[in-house]
Amino acid sequence: MANIASAQKRIRQTVKRTARNKARKSRVHGAIRKVEEAVAAGSKEAALAAFRAAQPEMQRAVTKGVLKANAVSRKLSRLAARVKAVQSA
């Protein structure tokens, strides 16, 4: 355990930040899962609604520095393609 006040504060900040980032990442994974489940079920409306809900959540994770921009861009592109395939089918 740290003895210096600044190090103790750093530990407190890290714990808070880690919890916040973990929660945000969990929300992103949940949103992606909902899109994938709707696509698997073949429901056009549900897939589109889930995708529209997932998109800002994923972008927010990039803004907050939790996920990398290229990774989110790639995932959104692939999800969009899957949603589009459900719509055309």
Contact (Cβ atoms closer than 8 angstroms) between residue 33 and residue 50: no
Domain boundaries, the chain: 5-88
Q: pLDDT 10s digit of each residue in the chain, 89 long?
A: 889 999 999 999 999 999 999 999 999 999 999 999 999 999 999 999 999 999 999 999 999 999 999 999 999 999 999 999 997 76
Tell me which DSSP letter residue 11 carries: H
Side chain identity at residue 66, one-letter code: V
Phi, psi of 43 (to 5 degrees): -90, 110
Buried b (16+ CB within 10 A) or exposed e, 76-86: beebeebbeeb
Give domain 5-88's CATH architecture.
Up-down Bundle (1.20)
pTM: 0.87
Do 28 and 70 touch, CB atoms closer than 8 A? no
SS3 9: helix
